[in-house]
């Protein structure tokens, strides 16, 4: 299923930091931004970075007119990365890392996050596509690394994000797309892994606990990406969700569930779920 992402980050309106590349600098202490695009080394001379709560955005621009953007969290999950022309009249196409199981085709490694010095260090490599939902579309290989200083601002929704243990392993996500059908809002929550959740919120929802099954209006849906079919598998679900806060701006709560594969019956246990996500205005 194709989703339109509503990125929950403030876009940059001013240059936060600007540096010139200098090969003589010690990369262990100095800022840098390296980029190879389509087998060509690009000279990134300006970059900017912003941190809001657990979420970070970094952009860079090369003298050859290639711009690159990363949106990720402090746990090392990449939400989105794309390249494009740095000017309005550029003929460089917009290319984006796969929206489906991003980590399968794009390696993003958060090497260091220094909250005292306010620096973030990353290595990356992989493909960006003309159509982020189609792995057969035109693609370009990019790679590189950066260590940049970031500016920290107060998040619009403090503590925003979703956490769960999937078969005992930590999973951190963010509501990256939303939809509304027949008075039921759906918060689609994902990261760069093969898993994603969808938390439903009917218009008349009130705080409290709800036990759900696959056919319930109030539920937490669960999907896992199949690399063979290149499609998401909708698992059958049963569990409990508790809305602890429903305001005009966000919903918060807890959840746990068991997800069952629709054909082979294999089970995935999701526990310790917590969420605090913005509510769409439509």
Q: Of all residues in the chain, what percent carry a pLDDT higher than 90?
A: 82
Q: Could you give the CA distance from residue 169 to residue 162 in angstroms, rounded to a whole number?
A: 14
In this prediction the pTM is: 0.89
Tell me: the pLDDT tens digits for 90-108? 999 999 999 999 999 999 9
Q: Of all residues in the chain, what percent carry a pLDDT higher than 70?
A: 89
Structure-derived torsion over alpha carbons of residues 119, 120, 123, 127, reported in degrees to the nearest 10: -130
CA nearest neighbour of 100 among 271, 258, 233, 265: 233
DSSP secondary-structure letter at 118? Answer: T
pLDDT at 6: 45
pLDDT at 21: 45
281 — pLDDT class (breaks 50, 70, 90): low
DSSP3 helix / strand / coil % (the chain, rounded to 5): 0, 60, 40
221 — pLDDT class (breaks 50, 70, 90): very high
Query: Region 111-135: what's the mean pLDDT?
Result: 97
Whether the per-residue pLDDT at 260 is higher than 50: the answer is yes
pLDDT at 58: 98
Query: Region 242-271: what's the mean pLDDT?
Result: 97
How confident is the prediction for the chain on average, in pLDDT? 90
Tell me: the pLDDT tens digits for 8-59? 444 333 333 434 444 434 444 589 999 999 999 999 999 999 999 999 999 9
Angstrom distances, CA of residue 279 to CA of 10, 185, 186, 199, 212:
16, 8, 9, 11, 21
pLDDT at 135: 96
pLDDT at 176: 81
181 — pLDDT class (breaks 50, 70, 90): confident
Strands 40-52 and 151-153: parallel
Among 8-22, 117-131, 250-264, whose mean pLDDT is lowest?
A: 8-22
């Amino acid at each position: 299923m194709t989703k339109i992402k509503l990125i929950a980050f403030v876009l940059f309106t001013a240059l936060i930091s600007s540096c010139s590349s200098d090969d003589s600098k010690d990369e262990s202490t100095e800022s840098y931004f390296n980029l190879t695009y389509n087998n060509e080394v690009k000279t990134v001379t300006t970059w900017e970075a912003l941190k809001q709560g657990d979420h970070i955005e970094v952009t860079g621009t090369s003298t050859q007119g290639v711009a690159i953007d990363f949106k990720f969290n402090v746990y090392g999950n990449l939400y989105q990365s794309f390249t494009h022309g740095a000017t309005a009249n550029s003929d460089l196409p917009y290319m984006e890392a796969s929206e489906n199981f991003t980590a399968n085709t794009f390696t993003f490694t958060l090497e260091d996050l220094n909250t005292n010095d306010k620096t973030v260090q990353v290595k990356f490599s992989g493909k960006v596509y003309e159509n982020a939902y189609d792995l057969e579309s035109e693609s370009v290989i990019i790679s590189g690394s950066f260590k940049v200083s970031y500016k920290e601002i107060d998040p619009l929704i403090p503590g925003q994000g979703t956490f769960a243990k999937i078969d005992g392993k930590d999973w951190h996500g963010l509501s990256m797309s939303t939809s509304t059908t027949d008075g039921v809002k759906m918060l689609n929550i994902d990261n760069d892994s093969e898993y994603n959740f969808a938390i439903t919120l009917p218009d008349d929802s009130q705080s409290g606990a709800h036990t759900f099954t696959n056919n319930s209006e109030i539920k937490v849906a669960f999907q896992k990406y199949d690399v063979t079919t290149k499609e998401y598998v909708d698992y059958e679900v049963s569990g409990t969700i508790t809305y602890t806060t429903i305001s005009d701006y966000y919903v918060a709560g807890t959840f746990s569930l068991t997800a069952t594969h629709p054909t082979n019956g294999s089970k995935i246990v999701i526990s310790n779920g917590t969420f605090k996500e913005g509510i769409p205005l439509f």
